[in-house]
Amino acid sequence: MTKTPDSVSSKPQIITGKARLAGVLGWPVSHSRSPALHNYWLRRYGIDGAYVPLPVKPEQFEAAVRGLQAAGFRGANVTIPHKEAACALADELDPSAQRAGAVNTLVFEEDGRIRGLSTDGEGFVASMDASGISLPASGRALLLGAGGAARSVAAALQDRGLHIAVTNRTQARADSLAAVLPGLEVVPWETWEAGLGGYDLLVNTTSLGMEGGPDPMFRPSLKAASHKLVVADIVYVPRLTPLLAEAEQHGLKTLGGLGMLLHQARLGFREWFGQDPVVDAKTEATVTASL
Ligand code: ATR
């Protein structure tokens, strides 16, 4: 069983000259709670290490990754807008990243090779399970967005046997996602709200509704939803996004993005810091306190 010491909040972080280092690459990155989460786990397990935010512009992504490697980092998480660039940069992709066409976790191997993983989808499904949400075996899910997170979530939900439809402002991007994941349906961005009645699950995988994002007020109409629709958002700042607030107003079951953040992070932590971390109420409370 994993050892999970209790009195961790008072434990100081250990950062010696041998500290293991990792971080999160994003633009912007100030919203990310990954540093709060990973540094909490580092304290909890008494690991000599640190995890830092790394604000990097798209045009500097590759230079930044090479620099981190040169500086002895173990790897990094990758968030908006770098997930597809990270996929192209990795020397080796694990099966989830191959399938998702995106990478959210980079592992720098000692021989200089870069391994890419995609843990968003697995994290999303683990979060759904942890919240006790169960969907019909051959249920239908509609994903908003066609970026890296969408690809990863779509692949993981397909593995669960769900039929997936995707809608995106830029339809060409949704079409290319459908080309990678056979069986995926593309729905026009202009009409998805009206067609919501046919779905069991709606997932926002875009940054719409995110504080500081392109449209923090994003509150689509859920008038056409059936009463069984589960509404999920991968945005977790704010915890109650306008989309989730709208769903609650309709009496629909909701799933916020925090659970996915916590669960997707476990794999990277294990790779960089050599410990499988627990996701429990204390973990959630620590990250929530930073929101
Ligand atoms: P990630 O890899 O984390 O999914 P991404 O690849 O940058 O990040 O994707 C962001 C998603 O948010 C995309 O689906 C994007 O739509 P476009 O492909 O049309 O750009 C979506 N998005 C971002 N800003 C948006 C906006 N103002 N309106 C609609 N969709 C938006």
Residue pLDDT, tens place only, 69-80:
999 999 999 998
Please give the full DSSP string across the chain, using - where no structure is assigned: -----S--TTPPPB--TT-EEEEEEESS-TT--HHHHHHHHHHHTT-BEEEEEEE--GGGHHHHHHHHHHTT--EEEE-TT-HHHHHHH-SEE-HHHHHHT--SEEEE-TTS-EEEE--HHHHHHHHHHHTT----TT-EEEEE--SHHHHHHHHHHHHTT-EEEEE-SSHHHHHHHHHHSTT-EE--TTTTTTTGGG-SEEEE-SSTT-TTSS-TT-----TT--TT-EEEES--SSSS-HHHHHHHHTT-EEE-SHHHHHHHHHHHHHHHHS-----SHHHHHHHHHT-
User: Would 252 be classed as within a structural domain?
Assistant: yes
Quick one: 152 and 182 in the same domain? yes
Q: For residue 137, what pLDDT band results from cuts at 50, 70 and 90? A: confident
Quick one: 72 and 182 in the same domain? no
Expressed as residue numbers, the domain containing 133 is 121-259
Q: Quote the pLDDT of residue 281.
A: 92
Q: For residue 50, what pLDDT band results from cuts at 50, 70 and 90? A: very high
Quick one: 187 and 66 in the same domain? no
Quick one: 129 and 240 in the same domain? yes
- Total structural domains in the chain? 2
CA 83–ligand 1 middle distance (angstroms): 12
Asked whether 22 and 74 are in contact (CB, 8 A), the reply is: yes
Q: Quote the pLDDT of residue 180.
A: 87
Helices 120-130, 148-159: crossing angle, 10 deg rounding: 60
User: Would 217 be classed as within a structural domain?
Assistant: yes
Q: Quote the pLDDT of residue 2.
A: 46
Supply the CATH number for residue 89's domain: 3.40.50.10860
Q: What is the pLDDT of residues 78-90, one digit of tens each?
A: 998 998 899 999 9
Q: Quote the pLDDT of residue 261.
A: 92
Quick one: 133 and 203 in the same domain? yes
User: Would 235 be classed as within a structural domain?
Assistant: yes
Q: Which residues are catalytic?
A: 83
Q: For residue 125, what pLDDT band results from cuts at 50, 70 and 90? A: very high
- Residue from 206, 210, 260, 264 whose mutation best tests the ligand 1 pocket (most atoms within 8 A of CB): 206
User: Would 68 be classed as within a structural domain?
Assistant: yes
User: Would 290 be classed as within a structural domain?
Assistant: no
Q: What is the pLDDT of residues 235-286, one digit of tens each?
A: 998 999 999 999 999 999 999 999 999 999 999 999 999 999 999 999 999 9
CA 151–ligand 1 middle distance (angstroms): 12
Mean pLDDT on 112-121: 95
Residue 136: burial class (beta carbons within 10 Å; 0-12, 13-18, 19+): exposed
CB of 76 closer than 6 angstroms to any ligand 1 atom: no
Asked whether 280 and 262 are in contact (CB, 8 A), the reply is: no
CB of 249 closer than 6 angstroms to any ligand 1 atom: no
Q: Quote the pLDDT of residue 290.
A: 84
Task: State yes or no: cis peptide before 81, omega within 30 of 0.
Answer: yes
Q: Quote the pLDDT of residue 149.
A: 85
Measured from the Cα of 149, ligand 1's closest atom is 4
Q: What is the pLDDT of residues 148-207, one digit of tens each?
A: 889 889 999 999 999 999 999 999 999 999 998 999 999 999 999 999 999 999 999 999
Q: Quote the pLDDT of residue 101.
A: 83
Quick one: 12 and 40 in the same domain? yes
